[in-house]
Chains A and B, each alone.
Chain A
Amino acid sequence: QSVLTQPPSLSGAPGQRVTISCTGSSSNIGAGYDVHWYQQLPGTAPKLLIYDNTKRPSGVPDRFSGSKFGTSASLAITGLQAGDEAHYYCQSYDSSLSGSLVFGGGTKLTVL
Chain B
Amino acid sequence: EVQLVESGGGLVQRGGSLRLSCAASGFAFSGYAMNWVRQAPGKGLEWVSYISSSSSTILYADSVKGRFTISRDNAKYSMYLEMNYLSDEDTAVYYCAREPNGLDYWGQGTLVTVSS
Q: A residues bordering B, Cβ < 8 Å?
A: 2, 34, 36, 38, 40, 45-48, 50-52, 55, 57, 87, 89, 91, 97-106
- Which of the candidate stretches B19-27, B67-75, B103-111 sits at the interface with the other chain? B103-111
Q: B residues bordering A, Cβ < 8 Å?
A: 35, 37, 44-47, 50, 59, 61-62, 95, 101-109
Q: Are B44 and A106 in contact (CB under 8 A)?
A: yes
Q: Are A36 and B46 in contact (CB under 8 A)?
A: no
Q: Are A101 and B106 in contact (CB under 8 A)?
A: no
Q: What residues of B have a CB within 8 angstroms of the CB of A51 in the complex?
A: 101-102, 104
Q: Are B109 and A98 in contact (CB under 8 A)?
A: no
A-B interface contact total, Cβ < 8 Å: 60
Cα separation A7 to B66 with both chains bound (whole Å): 33
Cα separation A101 to B103 with both chains bound (whole Å): 10
Cα separation A99 to B33 with both chains bound (whole Å): 14
Q: Are B101 and A103 in contact (CB under 8 A)?
A: no
Q: What residues of A have a CB within 8 angstroms of the CB of B35 in the complex?
A: 101
Q: Are B47 and A101 in contact (CB under 8 A)?
A: yes
Q: What residues of A have a CB within 8 angstroms of the CB of B95 in the complex?
A: 45-46
25 contacts between A and B (CB under 8 A): A34-B102, A36-B101, A36-B102, A38-B45, A45-B106, A46-B37, A48-B102, A48-B103, A48-B104, A48-B105, A50-B102, A55-B101, A89-B44, A91-B45, A99-B59, A100-B47, A100-B59, A100-B61, A101-B35, A101-B50, A101-B59, A102-B47, A103-B46, A103-B47, A105-B44
